[in-house]
Amino acid sequence: MLYAILENWQPVLALAGLVAFWLWESWNPFFEMTGRLKHAVRNLSLAGINAALTVLAFSALTAAAAVWTANHDFGLLPQMEAPIWATIGVGMIALDLWTYLWHRANHRIPLLWRFHRMHHSDENMDVTTATRFHFGEIAISTAVRLGPVLLLGIPAEAILAYDIVLLVVTQFHHANIGLLDRMDRRLRYIIVTPNMHRVHHSQERPETDSNYASVLSLWDRVFRTYRERADYRRIRYGLAQMVGDRYQTFRGMMGTPFRRLPEEADG
């Protein structure tokens, strides 16, 4: 019952969040952007393909894994015999920790970074950047996430609820919105905020390799990867090795993992 409700609401909330933050960006942007529509079409074209392929290839697999663990009492959480609400809560927190660790691995492991850097190559971050991921990254991350899902026995309701929260918060902290600095600082004690994530999308590599959290900001504080800066308006987005329109076209984005960059040639 709960799973069916969440499943029905997921696409509605995804579209509602996209529209709401797009309107907010239009009304009160943090950075002035030109060519917003062209930028959005390019990013959202990836989103449409990824959504279709993810639903067809991976969502059912993840749900099946979660159902299997529930039917066989497999994993850590089923052994706790806790109320369902507690199991869902613990499962969501565990998934958020996993997302932090996996995101950090995408910056440290060269093969994973080849796919993930397409997300970072966006020179004009806005809410549509939250959808800008290479299908190869989605495929690998979804397959690898099956490990903690099975080992912990995370229920399907927790997975879907977390994915909905992750989607909305990710849209929020990628959005090019003018949020009051004091509000951003206060929210940052709980969740990842636009200013916090802007640092992560900086061209400066020490800043890129920080602020890995996706929902709860505490993971960066706990693992000492949290970083601030004095002036967020001086941030330059993107990757210094991937500057130019050829990296922003659909073909350019899809070819990102297979492109040899200057620092790789030198190394």
The C-alpha atoms of residue 207 and residue 225 are separated, in whole angstroms, by 10
Q: Walk along the chain (267 residues) and give the pLDDT tens digit of each residue.
A: 676 677 677 888 889 999 999 999 999 999 999 899 999 999 999 888 887 776 656 666 676 777 777 776 777 888 887 788 899 999 999 999 999 999 999 999 999 999 999 999 999 999 999 999 998 999 899 889 989 998 999 998 999 999 999 999 999 999 999 999 999 999 999 999 999 999 999 999 999 999 999 999 999 999 999 999 999 999 999 999 999 999 999 999 999 999 887 665 433
CB contact at 8 A, 226 and 217: yes
**Would you state the pLDDT for residue 85?**
86
Exposure string over 18-31, b if 16+ CB within 10 A, otherwise e:
beebbebbeeeebe
**Percent of the chain that is helix, strand, coil (3-state, to 5):** 70, 0, 30
The C-alpha atoms of residue 85 and residue 61 are separated, in whole angstroms, by 23
**Would you state the pLDDT for residue 262?**
66
